[in-house]
């Protein structure tokens, strides 16, 4: 990952979780491919397609895929399969060290929050696994909002939870949908960049898991 810390201080900081604080995106991708195959998806779920939906709540992702490919996948069943495999993989997630170190530094002097499109249980488990539980004053997840990223609702909820104006907050994000949400919220942002994409052929085949 490539991450360049901002040159100025902010009154508050809002971090995405997956792909920003924790190196979980390959695991999510593997779980999505398994879930979609197990539910009979007729399209290929590529890394590029996965990244284009990153940050969107899980149920919304399935609905968006149905609209894009003309399928009728049942969101609840796909999400259950995705979460089932992802939960089994959670113990293998690792910290994205430069971002975690930055989060610890800024949280020592300013309130910090997490805004993730994932489910709360998995987000909180990921933070615990890398030793960040208790660091954030506010955690808002995809199950807490009516509209996911790129809608700014999740970020505005975080700013409110921190007791700050949106313009006082910096968003740390890896996904384009999250960055667009920051723009719409009127917040500054900094991107966490992946150095390479995941190659499909390097992933285990979880179709029968």
Question: What is the pLDDT at residue 159?
Answer: 98
Instruction: Give the separation between CA 29 and CA 47, rounded to whole angstroms.
Output: 7
Q: Is the pLDDT of residue 209 over 70?
A: no
Q: Is the pLDDT of residue 59 over 80?
A: yes
Measured from the Cβ of residue 143, the count of other Cβ atoms closer than 10 Å reads: 16
Instruction: Give the separation between CA 16 and CA 66, rounded to whole angstroms.
Output: 26
Instruction: Give the separation between CA 88 and CA 164, rounded to whole angstroms.
Output: 37
Helices 120-129/75-89 angle, 10° precision: 10
Q: How far is CA 159 from CA 138, 188, 194, in A?
A: 9, 12, 26
Instruction: Give the separation between CA 169 and CA 190, rounded to whole angstroms.
Output: 11
Domain layout of the chain by residue ranges: 12-23+94-191, 25-91
Residue 198 banded pLDDT, cuts 50, 70, 90: very low
Q: Is the pLDDT of residue 204 over 60?
A: no
Instruction: Give the separation between CA 45 and CA 200, rounded to whole angstroms.
Output: 10
Q: How does pLDDT run across 90-136, given as a tens digit for each residue?
A: 999 999 999 999 999 999 999 999 999 999 999 999 999 999 999 99
Any catalytic annotation for residue 16? yes
Burial class (CB in 10 A: 0-12, 13-18, 19+), 79: buried
Instruction: Give the separation between CA 114 and CA 189, rounded to whole angstroms.
Output: 14
Question: What is the pLDDT at residue 144?
Answer: 94
Among residues 9, 16, 18, 160, the one annotated as catalytic is 16
Question: What is the pLDDT at residue 54?
Answer: 86
Q: Write down the architecture of domain 25-91 according to CATH.
A: Orthogonal Bundle (1.10)
Question: What is the pLDDT at residue 189?
Answer: 97
Query: What pTM was computed for the model?
Result: 0.86
Looking at the domain covering 12-23+94-191, what would its CATH class be?
alpha beta
């Amino acid at each position: 990952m490539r991450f360049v810390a901002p040159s100025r201080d902010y009154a508050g900081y809002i971090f995405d979780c997956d792909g920003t604080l924790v190196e979980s995106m390959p695991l999510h991708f593997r779980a999505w491919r398994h879930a979609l195959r197990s539910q009979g998806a007729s399209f290929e779920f590529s890394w590029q397609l996965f990244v284009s939906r990153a940050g969107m709540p899980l149920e919304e992702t399935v609905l968006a895929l149905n609209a894009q490919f003309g399928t009728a996948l049942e969101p609840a069943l796909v999400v259950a399969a995705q979460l089932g495999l992802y939960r089994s993989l959670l113990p293998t997630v690792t910290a994205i060290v430069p971002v975690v170190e930055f989060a610890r530094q800024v949280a020592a002097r300013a309130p910090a929050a997490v805004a993730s499109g994932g489910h709360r249980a998995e987000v909180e488990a990921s933070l615990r696994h890398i030793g960040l539980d208790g660091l954030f004053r506010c955690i808002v997840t995809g199950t807490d909002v009516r509209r996911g990223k790129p809608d700014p609702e999740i970020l505005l909820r975080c700013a409110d939870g921190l007791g700050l104006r949106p313009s006082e907050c910096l968003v740390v994000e890896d996904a384009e949908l999250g960055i667009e949400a920051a723009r719409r919220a009127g917040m500054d942002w900094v991107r966490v960049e992946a150095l390479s994409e995941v190659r499909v052929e390097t992933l285990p085949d979880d179709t029968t898991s």
